[in-house]
Structure 1
């Protein structure tokens, strides 16, 4: 009888234990600003892009080059997602590095925007930079297991290597929320031999997610210049801290009738706890 009661207690405690949360799917996507001269242009790309994102079903999505009306279209076309991001010009207008997140999976704990500059708390740009650049930060709490994720989404300058490196240092210097995992994603405008990439991949306590994955699909390069025949340089990246591992990583080269959906291919990675 005693053994039976102990067995029943074990089964009951096992059934009450919280189930392990599924992997966190993260997607980074430079969606290309609305340039009417592009072929295909935004009006032609918007529908396929929304379908692609919905099919991929990321838990966290960071977009770059999202103008206000593009951000509104994404928000309308992605029900069930919350989002946060400010326009780089004045906090409203201009491109944003917005972050979307599944509201059924995550609770937003903190939202913050910094400008890559010596005055990060107000619209401004770094010395030598061509445009203002923002760091969008969300701290998200997993509703299933309570895990915290400190997510930063970036789009570094396309003119100045110094500005890119300075922004990389600024991103890395942001204190991580207590107990949280850090994820940095975005368009660095920096390849694997660039200063900004090197700073984040080797000098910040973060690691490039791609080579950590046992399953990798798609080309290393991410910039296609609206030509499906090329993958260009790897300038889009996902970085994670040592507490996270990667189950799968992909560069998505989806096309519609032979036309790519943006001039960058999106990255997708499934995050899991690191094996100790």
Structure 2
């Protein structure tokens, strides 16, 4: 009787030990371990807090005559883009010939575009290209700068239909996510530019409220103007004035030498999720004595931080 009682006590004590002492699985890479702990062995352990990125904006100018045709200028544009290898870049005045020509020469990039006149193939686009092996495309879209933004349209006495395209990109290695919006404002109507500032600001807040956002484009207004200040008042910042190094001259030159004290009309803007801006450079000059476009591109190197750390 005594022996059986002792066996019962020992068994009870061992059961308590087994209950309270955590057990280590034989292998922490077994399928059952991942199933129980809900851990994906291929998942990113932790999203990067910050990320260095390079952004470009480039109005490539619609086709002209002689040395100004798209076919003559594609190699010049591609040379500039390839030399800088941006994470993503936005084009303006990029018709189908431009988009297809650049895509054919830049195999490392995927792109999205929508043509402004019919939403299919007519007119210019505000195409965005991004490094396809580095980023997953999480979302993309387009809207027209009008009171009917979901369909091809123009408004507010604009001379042309105007469009904004966007992508949300996620780094495949780090999990870092940012949005890139790209646009081209109307050159004919001051009201259209003012209304476009309000519309794009609202769309950014709607589409990408809690992540880093860059906005690139040809805005057809200069820094210091009322519309420029309205864009800043909506929470965006001109990367030029955040940069440790920046160029301070015009971006539009019209295939001529730029005049002194002329201000840029192309910008790279960023929202509040920016840690620092290393440089904002305007790639001026010619290639083989030929202007690649009637605008110079802007190249910005900066560090963004993710929404969870704001």
Is TM more than 0.5 here?
A: yes
- TM-score, normalized by length of structure 2? 0.78
CA spacing shift, 1:55–1:173, aligned 2, 3 Å:
same
Please give the alpha-carbon distance, in whole angstroms, between the structure 1 residues aligned to 2:271 and 2:242: 11
Q: 1:205 aligns with which of 235, 240, 250?
A: 235
Structure 2 CA distance for partners of 1:160 and 1:229, relative to 1, 3 Å? closer
Is the aligned partner of 1:78 residue 2:100? no
Cα distance change of structure 1 residues 237 and 102 upon mapping to structure 2, 3 Å threshold: same
1:164 — aligned with what? 193
**Partner residue of 1:29 out of 44, 52, 58:** 58
Change beyond 3 A, Cα 1:260–1:112 = same
2:298 equivalent in structure 1 = 267
Alignment partner of 1:234 is 2:291: no
Residue 97 of structure 1: which of 104, 126, 129 is its match? 126
- Alignment of 1:251 with 2:282, yes or no, is yes
Q: Would you identify which runs of 4 or more consecutive aligned residues in structure 1 move more than 6 Å?
A: 16-21
* Alignment-derived partner of residue 67 in structure 1: 95
Report the alpha carbon displacement of residue 21 of structure 1 after superposing the two structures with TM. 6.6
**Which of these two proteins has the greater Rg computed from alpha carbons?**
2
Please provide the CA RMSD for this pair.
2.1
- Distance in 2 between the 1:119 and 1:157 partners? 16
CA distance in 1, matches of 2:68, 2:158: 29
- Change over 3 Å in CA distance of 1:221–1:44 after alignment to 2: same
Aligned length in residues: 258
Contact (CA 8 Å) 1:99, 1:138: kept in 2 or not?
yes
Which of 193, 213, 223 lines up with 1:192 in the alignment?
A: 223
- Counterpart CA distance in 1 for 2:136 and 2:108 is 12
Q: Paired residue for 1:88, among 104, 112, 116?
A: 116
Structure 2 counterparts to residues 1-150 of structure 1, below 5 A: 23-36=52-65, 39-92=67-120, 93-150=122-179
Aligned to 1:4: none
5+ residue gaps in structure 1?
1-15
Deviation at 1:40, TM superposition (A): 3.4
Q: CA deviation at 1:230?
A: 4.2
- Please report how far the alpha carbon of residue 20 of structure 1 lies from its aligned counterpart in structure 2 after TM superposition: 7.5
Gaps spanning 5+ residues in structure 2: where? 1-44
Q: 1:17 to 1:84 in 2, by over 3 A?
A: closer
Counterpart in 2 of 1:12?
none
